[in-house]
Amino acid sequence: MSTNFTSDQRLIVALDVSSAAAAQKIVSALGDSVHIYKVGMQLYTAEGPQIVRELVGSGRQVFLDLKYHDIPNTVASAVREAVQLGVSMLTVHASGGSKMLLSAVEASRVSSLQILAVTVLTSIDENDLNSTGVPGAVVDQVIRLASIALHAGCAGVVSSAREVKALREKLGDNFLIVNPGVRSAGADHGDQARVVTPAEAIQAGATHIVVGRPITAAKDPAAAARAINQEIRTAADELSRNSPVRASSAH
């Protein structure tokens, strides 16, 4: 694995729609500007695995974001099915614990599927966290869960962009960090209270960003994706000038 990605290998577009037709419309509008698509629980619940097969069959990479969290045997079985579908990246909850994470990683070994561990959901604040019996700050729980996930062999983590810097400082450069909730400077922030731009996420050390509505709801989705790819490219170039190790470290 390498963190030397081109900009279109770092951008993941979320297909948060409820039909295969709506998803395919977005995919064809985006053409060559996007290669990785996130299929999450909305589209998967509506359309099932067929939409994943169609995307993979047409040469796209699929990030299956179903956030598995169950007993190790059940998660491993689901991961084996995802391998059969040809999925490239898949999420599990790091809070499922070490045994569950190890089982997921083990089940993915026969393929190039990358297991990503969700740390703390971006919707959870310190009060929510503390009320579940976990004391302290969100960032500390993110580091704790990411550390467990990486020890279990996960390829990386999903986190808020706010935690990327701390993750890199504490756990190094050798793993993927996927950030959702990213907005270009000056863009409509929608329901996002605290926003980070693609450039800020990449400069902090994220390897991938997930963008949904700013691209899928744009008048010209391909132009919106190209603009974000450009922001990523500029930030990645700057990073490789200022921090070559981080920009090119392999894992």
Question: Under the rule (CB under 6 A), what is the footprint of ligand C5P?
Answer: 14, 16, 40, 122, 180-181, 192, 210-214
Q: In the bound complex, what is the minimum distance in angstroms from residue 100's beta carbon to ligand C5P?
A: 21
Could you give the CA distance from residue 115 to residue 246 in angstroms, rounded to a whole number? 21
Closest CA to 12 of 39, 52, 47: 39
Q: Which is nearer to ligand C5P, 94 or 247 (CB)?
A: 94
Q: How many residues does the chain have?
A: 251
Cβ 240 vs Cβ 247: under 8 Å:
yes
Active site residue 99: no
Q: Which is nearer to ligand C5P, 102 or 124 (CB)?
A: 124
Catalytic residue among 25, 67, 165, 170: 67
Could you give the CA distance from residue 57 to residue 222 in angstroms, rounded to a whole number? 21
Q: In the bound complex, what is the minimum distance in angstroms from residue 118's beta carbon to ligand C5P?
A: 9
Could you give the CA distance from residue 151 to residue 172 in angstroms, rounded to a whole number? 13
Q: Which is nearer to ligand C5P, 114 or 122 (CB)?
A: 122
Could you give the CA distance from residue 225 to residue 66 in angstroms, rounded to a whole number? 24
Residue nearest to ligand C5P (CB): 212
Q: Which is nearer to ligand C5P, 7 or 159 (CB)?
A: 159
Q: In the bound complex, what is the minimum distance in angstroms from residue 250's beta carbon to ligand C5P?
A: 27
CA angle 174, 180, 185 (to 5 degrees): 110
CA atoms within 13 A on the CB side of 69: 10
Q: In the bound complex, what is the minimum distance in angstroms from residue 187's beta carbon to ligand C5P?
A: 10
- Catalytic machinery residues: 67
